[in-house]
Structure 1
Amino acid sequence: MGPLLYKKIYHFIKEQIDSGQLKLGDRLPTEKELSEEFGVSRITSKRALAELEQEGLVVRTRGKGSFVAEKSVTVSSNKRDILLILPFDSDYELGDYARGIMTVLAEKGYRLMVQLASAVVATDLSQYAGVIYYPEDVNHSIDFLFYCDYHQIPLVLLDKQVDLFSFPTVVADNKGGAYELTQHLMQQACQEILFIATESFGEVSSVRDRYLGYLAAMAEMQRSGSYFSKENSEDSIAYLDRLVEHLLANGEQKTGLVVENDWLAIQLLQRVLQAGLSVPDQVAIVGFDNSQASRLITPNLTTAAQGFYMMGQEAATLLVVQMEEPDKPVHSQQIPVQIFIRESSQL
């Protein structure tokens, strides 16, 4: 029962600090007072105070007692676990974030734990020194990010920016990559070039930035950009089927498609071929991510490769600074992308 009883004291005091009932510099009850109030041994109350001290929530001075510490006090050095939160089962398909992160953390003596976003609600974040978080979108992330911001948990965002919070972010150059891919389609004499996406621009910043890159390339050539939008009642299959109907109606006109990611581009490529359209003669398709599937499908998919390994390294570096030098400013980083021209857009 000991661990349960000490945790009861720990959570009681922590909630008082979080709610503001106990303020900076306030003196906490002594070990003796806590043991009497909760009906436990002094060893149990001492353990609760020791854990609060390890987390930087209180400071203890011999002969004077325990006091609420400044919230900016950094995490205790005995915490060596870092949590990487991903929205998908594995980062194998989308890159090598974890390996890049581990190369930095290993040098600093930290360990990396990986968890799905769906399981985070049941996770005690107090056991981690910091968090690297790949948000699915704004709607699925706001509660978690508010919690981390309120409790001043060191955190770095991967892949997407969430403007509501000031957490540093490591992203790929989504805008520059889409700009280059759009320019490539222009060079392939595409008479119409459409941007294809099912994600909301307001919720997913990476897709929004790719759309901006597409628009910038179109504007530079004095051409109007066009987003083939998904209707509210449509699922992805209906959306792609309607797009294929549009392509069939174009006749001999060559159409270029800048698709938000490889996953959607591959589905579209298969439907275009099933409809009897020629790729890339009639329809030229480009994706984004350079997934393994983009290299295996026939025809191979033209795409932009994000530097996942480098992004992981940068995220870990920013997080270490937050944890070990909390007063030092950290800045978001943008990592260049590499364009791979393949058969889906050029013979």
Structure 2
Amino acid sequence: MKIPLYKIIYEKILEQINGGVLAKGDKIPSEKELAEQFGVSRITSKKALDLLAQEQFIERIQGKGSFVADIHGQINNQSSPVKVEEQEIYVNTKPKIGLVISDFSDRFGSTLVKAIEKNVTARNGSLLIKITKENLEDEEKAIQDLLEAGISGIIILPIHGEHYNHKILELVLKKFPVVLVDRYLRGIQIASVVTDNFKATKEATEYLVSLGHEHIAYITAPYEGTTVLEDRLKGYQFAFTKHQLDLNLKYTFESMASDFVLQERSQSEFTSELERMKQFIENNPEITAFVVCRYGLAKILLHVIHLLGKKVPEDYSIICFDSPPTDISEPLFTHIAQNEENMGGKSVELLFNQIEGITEVVTEIIDFDIIEGRSTEKLKENI
């Protein structure tokens, strides 16, 4: 079994005390020095020192540091330092976990947040939540505020955009426990939990193909630099290649803003966005179906179709990501349902692994379901 890094540090210091390398009153290296020596985060080195203090092998004096305690006869009574595996590192502390999320609603996010909170509580932790509303500066401040609040680790659903948040990169460089959800950073070693977005849009497109549709458009938020949105576009494109259908690049419509930001734009900008989408549909009359990267954009698309005097699914079929739950009937949209419960559980599991010193970088790919709704039907043959 792989031994967490804080236990390795614990045993190394205990070995030096037992062997006389460190005597009573000698100063122990600081959290920072141990973190640099062992290539770990300061939270990992702190755990090792906390456990040594709990076992009364060292004394921690505020403002001065940690010193070897008077342990005459104590070490010889220890059957084996390996017994540290039986210790509970959070005996007297309740770990605080930070969650940074751009927004959440019943269509996506509410179940995820509840799952994260449930799993953190099950591990005797508490959850602190910050909402950033797709604003980079707010996201940076949220991360800093949580760090200053003394969190042990952080789960982040990053805002979408072309550039990485430097605060997230700082966490990686400092080896601070962090997990990304619903996004991964290409080329950066960081734990992530994401839906299989490529497979999801591939199967969504194939679903429309199975209904007889060939002229299928793709509606997306700005995707450059946002890995999950790039993967969704690639999945849509691959479905055409797999089924030997012509991929028409002009069938991809990139919205001027994400659906979150769109809600906060002025009425004139919103009207302009509707007009762009309307012209896109009018300029491509052969289109019969749409794959949409987000539920909010699917709602906007539905509104534009109604403005054109058309109906869904009679004139156009739509499949999108996510949808609010419904108890009384099938959902409005046929949609890709992400497994938020599993995503939340996995993100907490990966985070606590890091907190406990297991530093292996893992990207968890979570499966999904396609739920049939009232927005798709078999393509009618022209008579």
CA deviations over 1:255-277 (Å, ceiling 9, x no partner): 21111111001111111012111
**In 2, distance between residues paired with 1:237 and 1:311?**
36
The equivalent position to 1:81 in structure 2, one of 85, 96, 100, is 96
Superposed displacement of residue 282, structure 1: 2.2
- Secondary structure of the 2:165 match is helix
Structure 2, unaligned runs of 5 or more: 1-29, 39-59, 71-88, 133-137, 258-267, 379-383
Question: Would you say 1:344 and 2:375 are equivalent positions?
Answer: yes
Q: Are residue 313 (structure 1) and residue 345 (structure 2) matched? A: yes
What is the percentage of aligned positions where both structures have the same residue?
Answer: 21
Q: How far apart, in 2, do the equivalents of 1:302 and 1:310 lie?
A: 21
Q: 1:105 pairs with 120, 145, 167, which one?
A: 120
User: In the TM superposition, what is the alpha-carbon distance from 1:341 to its structure 2 partner?
Assistant: 1.7
| Contact 1:230–1:239 (8 Å) recurs in 2 | no
Q: Do the aligned partners of residues 346 and 232 (structure 1) sit closer, same or farther apart at CA in structure 2, a change above 3 Å counting?
A: closer
Gap change, CA 1:158 and 1:185, over 3 Å in 2: same
Code of the residue aligned with 1:192 in structure 2: it is H
Structure 2 CA distance for aligned equivalents of residues 335 and 237 of structure 1 = 37
Are 1:301 and 1:342, in contact at CA under 8 Å, matched by a contact in 2? yes
Give the C-alpha shift of residue 250 in structure 1.
Answer: 4.6
Match of 2:299 in 1: 266
**RMSD between aligned alpha carbons?**
3.3
Which residue, 266, 272, 283 being the options, matches 2:316?
A: 283
1:196-246 Cα offsets, whole Å, 9 max, x none, are 11222x322121111111111111111233352448799665344233234
Q: Does 1:94 align with 2:108?
A: yes
SS state at 1:123 partner: helix
* Residue deviations 1:157-185 (CA, integer Å, cap 9, x gap): 00001124211110011111111110121
What does residue 245 of structure 1 align with?
279
Aligned to 1:228: 252
Indicate the SS of the match to 1:325.
Answer: coil
2:349 is paired with a residue whose SS is helix
Tell me, in whole angstroms, the C-alpha distance in 2 between the residues paired with 1:139 and 1:46: 46
> What's the CA shift string for 1:87-124, capped at 9, x where partnerless?
11x45441311222233322321111111242415515
Report the number of matched residues.
286
The corresponding residue for 2:21 is none
> 1:346 is aligned with what amino acid?
E
Q: Using structure 1 for the length normalisation, give the TM-score.
A: 0.72
Cα 1:278–1:138, aligned 2, differ >3 Å: closer, same or farther?
closer
The verdict on how the C-alpha distance between 1:190 and 1:264 changes in structure 2, with shifts beyond 3 A counting, is same
Cα distance in 1 for partners of 2:121, 2:256 equals 46
Match of 2:218 among 179, 195, 208: 195
Match of 1:301 in 2: 333
1:120-269 equivalence runs, <5 A: 120=142, 122-125=144-147, 127-139=150-162, 141-200=164-223, 202-225=224-247, 226=249, 227-230=251-254, 237-251=271-285, 253-269=286-302
Q: Which amino acid aligns with 2:312?
A: V
Change (3 A) 1:277 1:248: farther
Show the counterpart of 1:71. Answer: none
Amino acid at match of 2:279: E
Q: Work out which of the residue numbers 61, 68, 71 in structure 2 matches 1:61.
A: 68
One-letter identity of the residue aligned with 1:150: L
Distance 1:296 1:156, change over 3 A: farther
Superposition misfits of 4+ residues, deviation over 4 angstroms: 22-25, 138-141, 231-237, 294-299
SS of the aligned residue for 1:160 comes to: coil
Give secondary structure in 2 for the equivalent of 1:170: strand
Deviation at 1:82, TM superposition (A): 0.5
